[in-house]
Amino acid sequence: MPRKPKKKETHEEELQPNAHILGAGEVVEQFITETLETNYMPYAMSVIMSRAIPEIDGFKPSHRKLLYTMYKMGLLNGSTIKSANIVGRTMQLNPHGDATIYETMVRLSRGNEALLYPYVLSKGNFGKAYSRNMQYAASRYTEAKLEPIAAELFADIDKDTVDFVDNYDNTMKEPTLFPVTFPSVLVNANTGIAVGMASSICSFNLKEICDATVSLIKNPDYDINEAVKAPDFIGGGQIVYDDAQMREIFRTGRGSFKVRSKYAYDKSNNCIDITEIPPTTTAEAIIDKIIEKVKSGAAREIADVRDETDKKGLKITIDLKRGNDPEKLMRKLFKSTPLEDSFACNFNVLIAGVPRVLGVRDLLLEWIAFRMECVSRRVYFDLSKAKDRLHLLEGLQKILLDIDKAIRIIRSTEEESEVVPNLMIGFGIDKIQAEYVAEIKLRHLNREYILKRTKDIEELRKNIEDMEDILSSKARIKKIIVKELETVVEKYNKPRRTEIIYAAAEEEEAEIEEIPDYPVHLFFTKEGYFKKITPQSLRMSGEQKLKEGDSITQTLEATNNTDLLFFTDCCQVYKAKAADFDDSKASVLGDFVASKLHMDAGESAIYMAVTTDYKGYMLFFFENGKVAKVDLAAYETKTNRKKLIKAYCEKFPLAAVYQIAEDGELVVQSTAGRILLLNTGAITPKTTKDTQGVSVMTLKKGHRVAAVRAYKDGEFQKPARYRTRTLPAAGALLSAEDAGEQLTL
- What is the DSSP annotation of 294-356? HHTTS-TTEEEEEE--BTTB--EEEEEPTT--HHHHHHHHHHHSTTEEEEEEE-EEEETTEEE
Q: Could you list the beta-strand ranges (E) of 456-596.
A: 499-502, 519-525, 529-533, 552-559, 563-568, 573-577, 591-592
pLDDT at residue 149, as a whole number: 97
Sign of CA dihedral 364, 366, 368, 370: negative
pLDDT at residue 558, as a whole number: 92
Identify whether 268 is part of a domain: yes
pLDDT at residue 538, as a whole number: 86
Low-confidence spans in the chain with pLDDT less than 50 = 1-15, 505-512, 743-745
Q: What spatial distance separates the first Cα and last Cα of the chain, rounded to whole Å? A: 69
Structural domains in the chain (count)? 5
Rg of the Cα trace of the chain?
41
Instruction: Report d(CA 212, CA 214) in Å as an integer.
Output: 6
Task: Give the residues across from 552 on adjacent strands.
Answer: 525
Instruction: Report d(CA 570, CA 36) in Å as an integer.
Output: 43
Query: Largest Cα–Cα distance of the chain, in whole Å?
Result: 153
List the Cα angle 90/91/97 in 5-degree steps: 120
Instruction: Report d(CA 45, CA 41) in Å as an integer.
Output: 6
Report in angstroms the alpha-carbon separations of 75 from 107, 145, 465, 520.
18, 5, 37, 71
Closest CA to 361 of 512, 179, 539, 217: 217
Closest CA to 419 of 427, 398, 411, 395: 411
Instruction: Report d(CA 330, CA 339) in Å as an integer.
Output: 9
Q: Could you list the beta-strand ranges (E) of 482-604.
A: 499-502, 519-525, 529-533, 552-559, 563-568, 573-577, 591-592
Query: Are residues 738 and 620 part of one domain?
Result: yes
Query: Are residues 481 and 416 part of one domain?
Result: yes
Query: Are residues 650 and 587 part of one domain?
Result: no
Query: Are residues 562 and 464 part of one domain?
Result: no
Query: Are residues 76 and 164 part of one domain?
Result: yes
Identify whether 191 is part of a domain: no
CATH number of the domain to which 409 belongs: 1.10.268.10
Query: Are residues 553 and 468 part of one domain?
Result: no
Residue 606's H or E segment, with its range, is strand 605-611
Query: Are residues 593 and 670 part of one domain?
Result: no
pLDDT at residue 63, as a whole number: 96
pLDDT at residue 446, as a whole number: 77
Q: Is 461 helix (H, G, I), strand (E, B) or coil?
A: helix
Identify whether 212 is part of a domain: no
CATH number of the domain to which 79 belongs: 3.90.199.10
Query: Are residues 618 and 737 part of one domain?
Result: yes
Query: Are residues 629 and 607 part of one domain?
Result: no
pLDDT at residue 5, as a whole number: 47
Identify whether 724 is part of a domain: yes
Q: Roughly what angle, to the nearest 10 degrees, separates helices 403-412 and 360-400? A: 80
pLDDT at residue 7, as a whole number: 46
Q: Is 709 helix (H, G, I), strand (E, B) or coil?
A: strand
DSSP assigned state of 497: -
Instruction: Report d(CA 393, CA 416) in Å as an integer.
Output: 23
pLDDT at residue 741, as a whole number: 54
Query: Are residues 444 and 399 part of one domain?
Result: yes
Closest CA to 331 of 243, 240, 270: 240
Q: Which domain holds residue 602?
A: 515-612
Query: Are residues 557 and 631 part of one domain?
Result: no
Q: What is the pTM of this model?
A: 0.70
Identify whether 109 is part of a domain: yes
Instruction: Report d(CA 735, CA 712) in Å as an integer.
Output: 17
Residues identified as active-site: 141
Query: Are residues 728 and 619 part of one domain?
Result: yes
The one-letter amino acid code at 73 reads M
Identify whether 669 is part of a domain: yes
Answer whether 315's CB lies under 8 Å from 296's CB.
no
Q: 161, 179, 197 — which closes off a domain? A: 179
439-448 as b/e, with b when 16 or more CB fall inside 10 Å? eeeeeebeee
pLDDT at residue 33, as a whole number: 86
Task: Give the residues across from 349 on adjacent strands.
Answer: 356
